[in-house]
Chains A and B, each alone.
Chain A
Amino acid sequence: MLEKLLPAASTYAKEIDWLFDFITYLVGFWFFLAIGVFFYLVFRYRRKPEEKAQYITGETHKQKMAIEVPHYLILVCDLAILIFTFVVWHQVKIDKPPAEDEVRIVAQQWAWTFYHSGADGLLGTDDDIAKVNELHVKADTVYHYTLQSPDVMHSFSVPVFRLKQDAIPGRDITGWFEPNLQGEWDIQCAEMCGVAHGIMGARIFVKSEEDHAAWIAANSPPAQSANLIAQNTENDSQAQEDNTNG
């Protein structure tokens, strides 16, 4: 059902959508049954001057069964939902497949910084690519992410991936996703994080392997000594300060 509203672009999106549908059918059945009985009773037992209401205590065993039987059936439905919920939760949140690539996400008031692994496919090396409000990933690759926040709570939400995870100051929160559909979509901050929470969005770009490699090549920091990079960073921050002052 959800796919009619927005695409499913990660491997576990399908499972979450399936669970959503499963709950929709079970709950929908009970809801329409209950509301149907309700409206029938309201209509059937509307006041007629010649009829006196019946005296029913609801305390006899037979009468109680009218409540207990549906209530046991609901318990069975609850158990079914529970079991499938556990399966999906286990797959999404607990059973992480081994990483094929990594990304570090820093959420702060009010922007996202994404640290992509560069050409070497490793995070924390000189060729990492930092981008503000742009996350570039390649399709059909298992990514592990580390989510950090230097200030307040944020929440990293990619609706098309059915992925959401809060960022908590002082903790490195890890998780995974595997994009399987190419395209460009929204990333939203899903936790109130202050005045500009409402514009704390970013874009995610899911690309083919070749396109992603081309993007890495175009965005890699030029091969320079670590010294120069440090100097660049300094210049950057200098420039930033100038901007702020200006």
Chain B
Amino acid sequence: MAEVATADVAHDDHHHEHEESFWSKYVFSTDHKIIGFQYMFTGIAMALIGGYFAYVFRMQLAFPGSSVPFFGLVSPAAYNSLVTNHGTIMIFWVAMPVLIAAMGNFLIPLMIGCDDMVFPRVNRLSYQIFLLSAIVLIASFFVPGGGFGGAWTAYPPLSAMAKYNATPFGAPMWLIAVTLEIVAFLLGGINFITTVMNARAKGMRMYDIPIVIWMIVIASMLFMASVGPLVAGAVMLLFDQTLGTTFFDASAGGDPVLWQHLFWFFGHPEVYVVLLPAMGIVAEVMCTFARKKLFAYKMILYATIGLGILSFFVWAHHQFISGVDPRAAYLFTTTTLLISIPVAIMLFAYIATLYGGSIQFTTAMLFALSFLAEFLIGGVTGIWLGSSGVDIYLHDTYFVLAHFHYTFFPIAIIGTYTAIYYWFPKMFGRKMNETWGKIHFWGTIISFNCIFIPLFVLGAAGQHRRIYNYQHFPDLAGADMQDMRVFATISLVVMLLFQIPFIINFIVSLKYGEKADKNPWKANTLEWVAPSPPPHGNFPDGFPEVYRGPYEFAHPDREDDYWPQNEPGNQKPKT
């Protein structure tokens, strides 16, 4: 079994705490928890920007041509830029940093029982590059010509030439920001995988690793394996934009469709890169609050690996009607529908975990359960789109938009809230207020569904995406369709307002929340062995040893209904 991590640089001082300046403690720290918080707070700040963009363009759609409060008139160029950067921000600067980087950084060393990441300085560098990428992106909104508006998929030739996209500075800056962000996550991914493989607590076998850690590791592997083509493509596109090369210019021998392949070869595994950590978080929370062992741990693990492998063979389902050989659709429809199998196994196993449980409806548990219900909608609506025959019609409509919001919202938003409500006591040593948490939960979930169910209907009625004013299309300008747009917009405003209780609850609980002990939820995994909040170095009383799997709840040989991984017992429970 591997020794505990020996990342000397990170903790040369953790047994003799001396006064650290604010800068060295919070800004240039190599402590994995601080880096996790940096990612988390940057991600939340970016989510506020992305949410504000959504508010502006939804207002324009509901009340076209009128001045939007806190923004003003929305020009077509501004509208395009808003939708483009809303998508970019929510995926690259919210879902990725919060779910993988923040949770990976915070949870991995704590849950595998070591003191830090094995490459703490690489870890710090990762966040610094990430911060730089966010600054570049935000700066791109203020350059002459405005931010890039060619959709988050950035298809050339539109994205490649300023004469087409009219954003001579915005487009290259957008691309540089995305590339930097990817570099940051490559550094983070190396760290995650190496740490989990080499620095686990004594006695922690492969099947004793909490499922969330497995999922973050598998997600990091998927990311690293899929991102190469995108980086290559991004550099080629940047050269097309700035140096006048013609990789994607058909009139000079290039091929614009090549970008689509490179982008989606990354883009589809990316969905699972963000999905898996959220699934893992939900599994941890469900097991704890249902007091149940995770149903079929190994099956879930192998389904996850199968899902990861399969995700590399589905990318062209984004391109059924993009001019690739129509015969290719046979292959990609098949792989796409097959991917429903591992996802179904995972969801069924999660639902089966509830069987025979003793379910406590804490805010974290409510968010975890709502993840399953909402993600199920996102998952099944993918079947219509995966079927190439129906996709001819539904492609690029609001049906697609509603579908992927039903996947990404549970992943990025619900997954994040699940994690924050659950690990807040560990992060900050205090509990969040449950009453306000439940108000936040119900307000968010109900209004979320009210936003996107009308959009499914509009999409099925033939409304296309990325159009700033439907009044120009007689078939889409009807009063009943406009009513649905208004309803969706009002629901969005309501949902955004319901985030205020969360933010207040978060800030107030930091200072005045009920004090939490080491293990407030009576959970089994190793992070609950450390003090709340854990000091630099995590385990001041010595590193824990592991005697059993992470989900031994309600074990018949034991009176307590939980059995921490580190508690010496008579034997490993029979599996």
A52 touches which one: B354, B358, B396 (CB < 8 A)? B358
Contact B341 A5 (CB under 8 A): no
Q: Given that A166-B323, A171-B323 are contacting pairs, would A34 and B393 also be in contact in the complex, using a CB cutoff of 8 Å? A: no
Contact A42 B329 (CB under 8 A): no
Q: A109 an interface residue at 8 Å Cβ cutoff?
A: yes
In the assembly, what is the distance between CA of A71 and CA of B341, in Å?
A: 7
Contact A169 B165 (CB under 8 A): no
Contact B344 A198 (CB under 8 A): no
Q: Please give me the residue from chain B that is nearest to A87 by CB atom.
A: B389
Q: CB-CB contacts of B98-126 with A at 8 A, as 1s and 0s?
A: 00000000000000000000000000000
A64 touches which one: B256, B291, B299, B321 (CB < 8 A)? B299
Q: A interface, how many residues as a size bin? A: 35 or more
Q: A6 an interface residue at 8 Å Cβ cutoff?
A: yes
Q: Which of B79, B322, B341 has the most CB of A within 10 A?
A: B322
In the assembly, what is the distance between CA of A81 and CA of B323, in Å?
A: 23
Contact B80 A48 (CB under 8 A): no
Q: CB-CB contacts of A52-68 with B at 8 A, as 1s and 0s?
A: 11111111000110110
Contact B157 A152 (CB under 8 A): yes
Contact A56 B464 (CB under 8 A): no
Q: Given that A16-B390, A19-B387, A152-B157 are contacting pairs, would A5 and B321 also be in contact in the complex, using a CB cutoff of 8 Å? A: no
B296 touches which one: A5, A27, A59, A189 (CB < 8 A)? A59
- B345 to chain A: which residues have CB within 8 Å? 67, 71
- B151 to chain A: which residues have CB within 8 Å? 192
Contact B80 A192 (CB under 8 A): yes
Q: A151 an interface residue at 8 Å Cβ cutoff?
A: yes
- B322 to chain A: which residues have CB within 8 Å? 153, 166, 168
In the assembly, what is the distance between CA of A70 and CA of B155, in Å?
A: 40
Q: B349 an interface residue at 8 Å Cβ cutoff?
A: yes
Q: Given that A48-B358, A198-B472, A199-B469 are contacting pairs, would A58 and B389 also be in contact in the complex, using a CB cutoff of 8 Å? A: no
Q: B457 an interface residue at 8 Å Cβ cutoff?
A: yes
Contact A34 B376 (CB under 8 A): yes
Q: Please give me the residue from chain A that is nearest to B259 by CB atom.
A: A153
In the assembly, what is the distance between CA of A186 and CA of B396, in Å?
A: 16
- A93 to chain B: which residues have CB within 8 Å? 326, 329, 392
- B469 to chain A: which residues have CB within 8 Å? 198-199
Q: B44 an interface residue at 8 Å Cβ cutoff?
A: no
In the assembly, what is the distance between CA of A159 and CA of B394, in Å?
A: 9
Q: A170 an interface residue at 8 Å Cβ cutoff?
A: yes
Contact A164 B393 (CB under 8 A): yes
The segment from B176-184, B211-219, B519-527, B552-560 that touches chain A is B552-560
Q: Given that A16-B390, A81-B387 are contacting pairs, would A52 and B461 also be in contact in the complex, using a CB cutoff of 8 Å? A: no
Contact B327 A168 (CB under 8 A): no
Contact B351 A41 (CB under 8 A): yes
Contact B326 A162 (CB under 8 A): no
Q: Please give me the residue from chain B that is nearest to A185 by CB atom.
A: B475
CB contact list, B334-351 vs A, under 8 A: 334, 337-338, 340-341, 344-345, 347-349, 351
Tally B residues with Cβ within 8 Å of A: 98
A55 touches which one: B329, B387, B393, B554 (CB < 8 A)? B554
- A190 to chain B: which residues have CB within 8 Å? 395-397, 464-465
Q: A82 an interface residue at 8 Å Cβ cutoff?
A: yes
Contact B354 A45 (CB under 8 A): yes
- A199 to chain B: which residues have CB within 8 Å? 76, 469, 472
- B139 to chain A: which residues have CB within 8 Å? none
B507 CB to nearest chain A CB (Å): 30
Q: B257 an interface residue at 8 Å Cβ cutoff?
A: yes
Q: Given that A155-B321, A168-B323, A198-B466 are contacting pairs, would A82 and B333 also be in contact in the complex, using a CB cutoff of 8 Å? A: yes
B160 CB to nearest chain A CB (Å): 9
In the assembly, what is the distance between CA of A89 and CA of B255, in Å?
A: 25
Contact B393 A23 (CB under 8 A): no
In the assembly, what is the distance between CA of A74 and CA of B341, in Å?
A: 7
- A196 to chain B: which residues have CB within 8 Å? 76
Q: B158 an interface residue at 8 Å Cβ cutoff?
A: yes
Contact A46 B326 (CB under 8 A): no
Contact A58 B297 (CB under 8 A): yes
Q: B21 an interface residue at 8 Å Cβ cutoff?
A: no
Q: Given that A27-B383, A27-B384 are contacting pairs, would A198 and B467 also be in contact in the complex, using a CB cutoff of 8 Å? A: yes
- B344 to chain A: which residues have CB within 8 Å? 70-71, 74
Q: A97 an interface residue at 8 Å Cβ cutoff?
A: no
Q: Given that A58-B293, A82-B337, A162-B393 are contacting pairs, would A192 and B359 also be in contact in the complex, using a CB cutoff of 8 Å? A: no
B409 CB to nearest chain A CB (Å): 17
Q: Please give me the residue from chain A that is nearest to B481 by CB atom.
A: A5
Contact B461 A6 (CB under 8 A): yes
Q: B388 an interface residue at 8 Å Cβ cutoff?
A: yes
B462 CB to nearest chain A CB (Å): 3
Q: Please give me the residue from chain B that is nearest to A69 by CB atom.
A: B348
In the assembly, what is the distance between CA of A10 and CA of B574, in Å?
A: 63
Contact A67 B392 (CB under 8 A): no
A85 touches which one: B333, B357, B461, B575 (CB < 8 A)? B333
In the assembly, what is the distance between CA of A15 and CA of B475, in Å?
A: 22
B392 touches which one: A16, A42, A82, A173 (CB < 8 A)? A16
Q: What are 15 A-B contacts defined by CB distance under 8 Å? A: A23-B384, A23-B390, A30-B380, A34-B351, A52-B291, A52-B561, A53-B358, A53-B561, A55-B553, A89-B329, A89-B330, A152-B164, A164-B393, A195-B149, A199-B469
The 9 closest A-B pairs by CB, nearest first: A170-B250, A159-B462, A54-B356, A88-B389, A58-B296, A58-B295, A5-B461, A192-B151, A53-B291
Besides A67-B296, A85-B387, 15 new A-B residue pairs in contact (Cβ under 8 A), listed by A number: A6-B461, A27-B384, A37-B351, A52-B554, A55-B555, A55-B556, A56-B292, A58-B293, A92-B392, A93-B326, A169-B157, A186-B462, A194-B166, A195-B77, A195-B149
